[in-house]
Amino acid sequence: MNIMTNMTIDVTTQTTSATAIEAISKNAVSIELQDVTLAYRGHPAVHHVSGVFAPGSLTALIGPNGAGKSTLLRAMARQARPNQGHVIYNGIASNQPGTIAYLPQIAGLNPDFALRVIDVVAMGAWQAIGAMGAMNTAVIEKLQAALQQVGLANFESRMVDELSVGQLQRVLFARLIMQDAPVILLDEPFNALDATTVRDLLKIIHTWHHQGRLVVAVLHDMNTVKQHFPQTLLMARELIAWGPTSAVVNNQKLGEAEQASLVWQDAAPWCYQPEQNVGGIVHKHEHSHHAH
């Protein structure tokens, strides 16, 4: 059975302040997922997900381990091409540089290279700096303000390999601030961080939200999701639920995601979905018009 039938969801329900509404008009960017299917190393990772991230929305992307969350985020960040379906960017050109700020998992980054903090943060302003890397006064002032915002004032000359995990993540958030993108995608941004760093970075995320930016974060801590993210997308390679967090993060929906994750076979072809027995009737997953 293709349980995604009639599950294209327009996620637009959100309480927004007057200030944020004005900001959204300047950053009116949405991301639409149309039947997005992705394979990882030839095997299924994301299966027929459709829906819309509304302009100015703040969304938690959650699900069991191996649910395809990071893979989907990479596709939204233009780091992976769907095997089927489309990621559509409304309000920006699909190939326009600097419009999507993407922060992968910190575990996937190597801090052991000879760069100063100022060098890493300045990467977020590469469009203003240019190929020669010359920073004018305005860029330097913006960089210093970004470091102050993340709690690292006067860290410009520190070497990256001298930083703690939390300090490195603060530096990477400062780089995102410098990028000034209307879309910000974060993959497990609080993994292995202390409570103080998490609190400070959440403040920055809320600032982005009130500025009208579209923010999506892969998260695991349900308390953080419920307290700070108005919208939630729950997946288990397929879409389980997408909407207001209060309607998605509950025992029933989380249980459905866990059950759905148990039937997947990692060695299956990329667009394979097992038969499921619903009400005594065996349903098969079918594709009538898609090439494989």
pLDDT at 60 exceeding the cut of 50? yes
**CATH 3.40.50.300 domain position(s) in the chain:** 1-99+183-292
What is the rounded end-to-end Cα distance, in angstroms, of the chain? 18
- To the nearest whole number, what is the mean pLDDT of the chain? 82
Q: Look at 135 and 187; give whichever has higher pLDDT.
A: 187
Burial class of residue 213 (count of CB atoms within 10 Å of its CB; 0-12, 13-18, 19+): buried
Output the pLDDT for position 139. Answer: 87
Output the pLDDT for position 98. Answer: 78
Name the range with the highest mean pLDDT among 88-102, 121-135, 193-207: 193-207
Mean pLDDT of 272-287: 48
pLDDT at 292 exceeding the cut of 60? no
Mean pLDDT of 105-110: 66
| Orientation angle between helical segments 165-179 and 137-149, nearest 10 degrees | 140
pLDDT at 70 exceeding the cut of 80? yes
Give 133's pLDDT tier (boundaries 50, 70, 90).
low
pLDDT at 181 exceeding the cut of 80? yes
Inter-residue contact 213 to 183 (CB < 8 Å)? yes
The full 3-state SS of 50-85, as one line of letters, equals EEEECCCCEEEEECCCCCCHHHHHHHHCCCCCCCEE
Output the pLDDT for position 94. Answer: 60
Output the pLDDT for position 6. Answer: 31
Residue 39 CA, chain-centre distance (Å), reads 18
Range of lowest pLDDT (14-28, 135-149, 191-205, 242-256): 14-28
Q: CATH 2.40.30.10: does it fit domain 1-99+183-292?
A: no
Encoded amino acid at 111, one letter: P
Output the pLDDT for position 269. Answer: 62
Mean pLDDT of 166-171: 96
Closest by Cα among 73, 19, 6 to 45: 73
Q: Model's pTM, two decimal places?
A: 0.83
Output the pLDDT for position 161. Answer: 87
Mean pLDDT of 14-20: 42
Mean pLDDT of 117-146: 81
How far is the C-alpha of 292 from the C-alpha of 285, rounded, in Å?
A: 14
Mean pLDDT of 252-271: 81
Q: Look at 40 and 130; give whichever has higher pLDDT.
A: 40
Mean pLDDT of 211-237: 97
Output the pLDDT for position 131. Answer: 52
pLDDT at 157 exceeding the cut of 70? yes
Output the pLDDT for position 14. Answer: 36
